[in-house]
Amino acid sequence: MQVAGSGALVAGGASGLGEATVRRLHAGGAQVVIADLNRERGEALAAELGTRAMFVRADVGEAEDVREAVESAAALPGGLRISVCCAGMGWAERLAGRRGPHALESFESLIRLNVIGTFNVLRLAATSMLDNEPFASGERGVCVNTASIAAWDGQIGQISYATSKAAVVGMTLPAARDLAGSGIRVCAIAPGTFDTPLLSSLPKDAREGLGKVVPFPPRLGRPDEFAALAVHIVENEMLNGEVIRLDGALRMPPR
Residues designated as active site: 161
Query: Which neighbouring-strand residues pair with 76?
Result: none
Q: How far is CA 224 from the centre of its chain?
A: 13
Residue 38 exposure: Cα atoms within 13 Å on the Cβ side: 15
- Inter-CA distances, 242 with 88, 192, 215, Å: 20, 16, 23
> In angstroms, rounded to a whole number, what is the distance separating the alpha carbons of residues 60 and 77?
24
Residues 6 or more apart in contact with residue 51 via CB below 8 angstroms? none
Amino acid symbol at 89: M
Whether 116 contacts 168, CB under 8 Å: no
Interior/surface letters 99-116, b for 16+ CB within 10 angstroms, e for the rest: eeebeeeebeebbebbbb
Amino acid symbol at 128: S
Count the neighbouring beta carbons within 10 Å of the beta carbon of residue 67: 15
